[in-house]
Structure 1
């Protein structure tokens, strides 16, 4: 197992239904099959991450297939770029596992890990997708051994560059998905008086070379309930006034465009 102790960073070994390090720190496997590697001293709140309501809204929206082209694009990149000797892939900020399980299904000989800070999301993911190894953990303190991952996927997820460089194998990959300039413009137009385009991609990841950039955009036609679910899973939800929620839920159809930016980074040898 590739897990490392979040307290002392020594390797974790699985003993029956627990993971134990040489310093005797112990982390039990939950009945759903995931392991919680987020010590209380690393939490910023009692229940960090998305709430159950946010997670359920995202699951309903994603299960309807509206972001499947994004998922398929990342699966294709993994199929093209992973070497025949690849053994492990990590999805950071995996939420309820919509993307993660597709990565596992596309790479049956590879161990796929899903990591999220939200316990409610990981609990739900582990119950639904037993083919993935899920853990509750911080994306800023990855509980994995050095040079253990052939690829890491970050869909809107934050992570420290030094942690990516530590965990990804030389020659391995980081795939990021971020909002393109015109992502969800129609939704933003309901909330902001002045619509600002998302800033162009300027990220640099120390220790990695950018090998490919892909723009992915397409229109969506949503029902009122789907539009509400979409709003609930975005940062715009905090700014939306009650009349915006009411207007969206009353819509028969809400047309909205997507605009994703995919970037493929290779770890320097």
Structure 2
């Protein structure tokens, strides 16, 4: 049996011609999407759409690998980043978006946590990694997931009144197109001392992340929240999972990574949550 997406009527547009996509039953229990130019896309058995044309791929299998995704899921589901989840949920509960997009959603952890905190909000998630979206859709069937590129979002104009971009690339013109007037963008970035102990062990000279607020044309910056917490006594396996979630994991051979993570007793997590309003 092929899953259906949780809501579908006006959300998507064709990635090939940009016309609206309409759901239809091509077979019993099988949902497809078709545009007026007869481009069609089937809902996968896990319950997601693949709206990433080959010309939008930057490699054969773009995005995070299966191994990296499993490491990320294992780490996040330990609850180590719960302070960040709680901070995001609190802000969104005040904004009360009707429909929210998690752009660059990975395996869907944050989408699902925020959906649980805002049950009345419709959530969609997209990522360029097919493996990530397969994991997300299978685990969280009440969220509309699709494979796509942030450079060409596969959604109709003004479909969302809230958008989350958490440590992921984004295309400002596409964010503007898909947000409704006065819609909100929540941008999560690494603050200066994020994963500082990893960097101190890897680099002779540590470069801290910038603390500058990004000026986004067409958006008013509403507030910045500094979400800073210590990851203490997680154990070598958890620290190793976190290290392998980041490009820092590529800097060391396996035995040195293991030694580093076994020696750690604490690790700094440091994020900025910047909230913007479109058209203000």
Q: Which TM bucket (shorter chain)?
A: over 0.9
Moved over 6 A (4+): none
Which ranges in structure 2 are unaligned for 5 or more consecutive residues?
1-8, 26-30
Report SS of the residue matched to 1:217.
Answer: strand
1:118-157 map, 5 Å = 118-157=129-168
Deviation string, structure 1 residues 157-185 (Cα, Å, up to 9, x no partner): 11111111111111110001100011110
1:244 is the counterpart of 2:244: no
Contact kept in structure 1, 2:100 and 2:124, CA below 8 Å? yes
Which ranges in structure 1 are unaligned for 5 or more consecutive residues?
none
- In the aligned structure 2, how far is the partner of 1:182 from the partner of 1:267? 29
1:230 is the counterpart of 2:264: no
Instruction: Return the match for 2:205 from 194, 198, 205.
Output: 194
- The equivalent residue for 1:40 is 54
Report SS of the residue matched to 1:11.
Answer: coil
Q: How far off its partner does 1:250 sit?
A: 3.6
- In the aligned structure 1, how far is the partner of 2:37 from the partner of 2:216? 33
Contact kept in structure 2, 1:115 and 1:134, CA below 8 Å? yes
Q: How far off its partner does 1:106 sit?
A: 2.3
1:103 is the counterpart of 2:103: no
- In the aligned structure 2, how far is the partner of 1:128 from the partner of 1:268? 35
Q: How far off its partner does 1:249 sit?
A: 4.8
Contact kept in structure 2, 1:175 and 1:263, CA below 8 Å? yes
Q: How many pairs were matched up?
A: 265
1:21 is the counterpart of 2:53: no
Report SS of the residue matched to 1:59.
Answer: helix
- In the aligned structure 1, how far is the partner of 2:153 from the partner of 2:131? 19
- The equivalent residue for 2:12 is 3
Instruction: Return the match for 2:77 from 63, 67, 70.
Output: 63
- In the aligned structure 2, how far is the partner of 1:10 from the partner of 1:241? 48
